[in-house]
Amino acid sequence: MTPTVLWLGLPLPWADALPGTIRTVDVPEAVVGADASLVVLADGVGALADWLRRPRTRPPTLVVCATVDEEDAALRAGAEGVLSPDTTAEDARRAARRAAARHASVQTDAELYRMMVESATDLMTVSDATGRTIYASPAAEAQTGRTPEEMLAQEPFEGIHPDDREAATAAFMAGMVSGQPTAFRYRNVGADGRVRLLESHGRAATGPDGQPYGIVTTRDVTEAAEIERKLMASEARYRAIVHALPDVVSRLRDDGLVVDFHVPDVFATEFPAEAMIGKVLPDIIPDDLAAKVRDAMDRLRQTDETVSYDYAVEVGGRTCYREVRMAPIGDDEVLSMLRDVTPLREHEAALERSRAELQALATHLQDIREEERTRLSRDVHDVLGQQLTAIRLGVGWFGRHYPDDEAAQARLDDVRQTIDETIRHVRQLAADLRPGVLDDFGLASAVEWQATRFEERTDVGCRVDVQGRTEPPREVATAAFRVFQEALTNVARHAEAATVKVTLVLGPAQVRLVVADDGRGFDAGRMRRHALGLVGMRERAGALGGALEVRGEPGRGTVVECTLPFEPAPEPT
C-alpha cells in the first residue's frame, strides 16, 4: 500500500520529494483523525497545537516554519521536525525519515508512560494553573470515589470537603508558584457521599505550551490514618503508663543500644536520661553491672522469656537494692524495667532475722522443756518411786506383825495393790516425760520401745525397720523421737489404721524417719496446715535444719517423713 502524505497549506517545490502520495487538504479539521503516514503543516502550527501534543493519536508531523520563533513553538507543541519553505528535496526526504523515527520512539515512550500511569494504584492527575483537572488516571474512582470523567467535569477543588478546601487550595497554589514539591492531606467527598482522607504529593511543571501545570499523585490514606491514630493513641497510653510507674523503664536494641529511657525523679541523678539515650548500655555502666546486663540479654535470646537480675549500689552512703526485669518486644528490642527494692529487701532481711530469732527461741524453749522433762522424769522415778517403795515396805512390816488379823491383812493387800499400781503409773509417767531408754540405749532402741508401747495401748500393729548404726547427737535423737511420738499419736487419733510401718535410717550425717500407716488417709487440699501437732513437728525439724513432709490420699493411708541432718563425728586419730 502506497504511503500517503497529508499536506495542509500551499504547496512547495520540494513536496514531491517526500515518500508517498501527496493529498492536499484546506482546513485544519481535515487533519484531525486523518489516516496518513506523514502530515505536513505548510502554514505553521496554527490551530493544531493541541492536536500535536497527542502523539499517540496522530501520524508523524513536519511543520514548515519561516522564523526561529515558529520553529521553537512547533517543537514545543510536539512536532517531530521543522522545515524552512526553501529547504532542498534531499533535506525534505531526510526530515521525513527522521520524523517517522522520532514519532515511533515517542509512541513507544508514550505507551510506556501510559501503561505506568494507568496501571498505578495511586491517582495521577494533571491540573492547570487554576486547579482544574485536565487529566485523571483510571485509579480516580478507587482513590476518590469519582470517575476520571467526573473529575474532569467538576470545578477546581470541588470534591474537597468544605472545611478543608481553603487550606488545600492554598497549598496547591503555593506549590504552583514556588515550583517546589508539595504534600498535604485533606478530606474528600466522593460522588457516593463518603468522606475519605486523601494525601497528595505534587509539584509544578511547565507544559509543552509553556504554561504551568500541577502534576499530582493522590492516595486514599483513610485506613492508614486510622492505624496511625491508633498507634499514636497506643504510644500515648504507653507514655502515660511509663510516666506513672516508679520504675526506670527503657527500650534497648538487641545490641544494648538505648532507644528510649524514662527516669523517675528519684533516679534522675543515678540515671540521667540525656546520658543514656543513643548509648550502648553495657559501655556506660560499671563492669560488674554490665556483665549482669549481658548475661540477662544472652538468657533472653536463648529463652525468649522474661529474665531478671538484681544488684546493690551505694547511693548517698546507703546501700540500695535494685531489681531489673527484661522482656522481649518484637524481634530486636528489649523492654527493661528497673525497680528500687530496697524497702522490700530490708523488710525481707528484718523478717529473716525475726524468723531466725523465733526459731532460736523455739529451739531454746524445746531444749528447756526437754531438760525440765528429764529432771522431772528423774525426780519422779527416783524420789517418788523410792518413797512409794518405802511405803510398801512399811505396809509389809504391818502385815508381818499382825498375821492373825484377817481384816487387817485384807486391808493391807488392798493398800499393796494400790501402791504397786501407783508405782507402775509413776514409772509410766517418768517414761513419758523422758524415756530412759533414749538416753541409755539410743534412738533405735527408744523407737522400738515406743512402738511396743503403742501396740499395747492401741492394738495396732507397729513394725520397725532400723537401717544403719550411727547414733546421732542427743538433740537430733530427741527431735526424731518426739516427731515419732507425735506421728503415732496422730495415727491413734485419726488414722483408723490396722498397721503402721516405721523406717529409721541412721546415716553418717542424717537421720531419716518414715512413719507410714494404712489408715483412711486425708485430702491434701483440706488438711489444716496450722494444726498444732504438724506445726510442732515442722518446728522441731526446721530448728535443726531438717524437713518434714506429710503425704496422703483419701483411703490410701498417710506417710510422715522427717529428715534431720547433723555434723558427722570426727574420725578417730
Shared domain for 461 and 556, answered yes or no, is yes
Residue-averaged pLDDT of the chain: 85
Whether 256 is in a domain gets the answer yes
Q: In terms of pLDDT, which residue wins out, 267 or 120?
A: 120
Residue 461 lies in a domain: yes
Out of 197, 226, 255, pick the residue that ends a domain: 226
With 60 as the cut, is the pLDDT of residue 568 above it?
Answer: yes
Query: Which pLDDT band holds residue 7 (cuts at 50, 70, 90)?
Result: very high
DSSP letter string over 419-447?
Answer: HHHHHHHHHHHHHHHS-HHHHHH-HHHHH
Residue 388, all three cell numbers: 512409794
CATH of the domain at 446: 3.30.565.10
The count of other CB atoms within 10 Å of the CB of residue 198 is 23
- The reply to whether 241 falls in a domain is no
On whether both 457 and 378 belong to a single domain, the answer is no
What would the pLDDT profile of 417-465 be if each residue is shown by its tens digit? 887 787 777 767 766 666 777 888 899 998 999 899 899 989 999 999 9
Query: Does residue 402 lie within any of the structural domains?
Result: yes
Q: Which of 79-93, 285-299, 363-377, 414-428 has the lowest mean pLDDT?
A: 363-377
Report how many domains make up the chain.
5
Place of cell 528490642: 333
Give the per-residue pLDDT at 164.
94
C-alpha–C-alpha distance, residues 366 and 55, integer Å: 111
- Sheet holding 558-565: strands in order across? 461-467, 499-506, 510-517, 558-565, 547-552
Tell me which of 340, 356, 374 is where a domain ends: 340
* Edge-to-edge order in the sheet of strand 307-315: 258-262, 248-253, 333-340, 318-329, 307-315
Instruction: Check the CA dihedral 231-235-237-238 and report its sign.
Output: positive
Q: Helices 342-378 and 406-433 sit at what angle, rounded to 10 degrees?
A: 150
Q: Is 165 helix (H, G, I), strand (E, B) or coil?
A: helix
Q: 98: domain CATH number? A: 3.40.50.2300
DSSP-assigned beta bridge partners for residue 158: none
Q: What is the pLDDT of residue 109?
A: 65
Q: pTM for this structure?
A: 0.44
Query: Which structural domain range is residue 198 located in?
Result: 121-226
pLDDT above 60 for 262: yes
561 and 446 belong to one structural domain? yes
Q: Is 541 among the domain residues?
A: yes
Q: Which residues, 6 or more positions from 30, have their beta carbon under 8 angstroms from its beta carbon?
A: 6, 8
Both 139 and 188 in one domain: the answer is yes
Confidence of residue 385 (pLDDT cuts 50, 70, 90): low
| 499 and 419 co-located in one domain | no
Say yes or no: 506 and 494 in one domain.
yes
Query: Do 455 and 555 reside in the same domain of the chain?
Result: yes
SS3 assignment, position 160: strand
Given a cut of 70, whether residue 383 has pLDDT beyond it is no
Question: Are 426 and 454 part of one and the same domain?
Answer: no
**Domain end: 405, 430, 455, which one?**
430
The confidence band for 274, taking pLDDT boundaries of 50, 70 and 90, is confident
Q: Among candidates 354, 569, 572, which has minimal Cα distance to 476?
A: 569
Are 310 and 391 in the same domain? Answer: no
Closest C-alpha to 15, from 33, 34, 38: 38
What is the model's pLDDT at position 12? 92
d(Cα 101, Cα 160) in Å, to the nearest integer? 44
Confidence class for position 203, pLDDT limits 50, 70, 90: very high
Q: Per the domain annotation, does 234 fall within a domain? A: no
Cα separations in angstroms, 177 against 135, 170, 173, 539: 20, 11, 6, 91
Residue 19 within a domain: yes
Residues 11 and 29 in one domain: yes
Are 212 and 263 within one domain?
no
Whichever domain contains 284, its CATH number is 3.30.450.20
Provide the 8-state DSSP code for 112: H
Q: What's the whole-number mean pLDDT along residues 358-379?
A: 67
H helix runs in 21-88, sequence order: 49-52, 68-77
Indicate whether 455 and 561 sit together in one domain: yes
Per residue in 463-476, pLDDT (tens digit) is 999 999 899 998 89
Ramachandran angles phi, psi of 127, nearest 5°: -120, 150
Inside any domain, residue 191:
yes
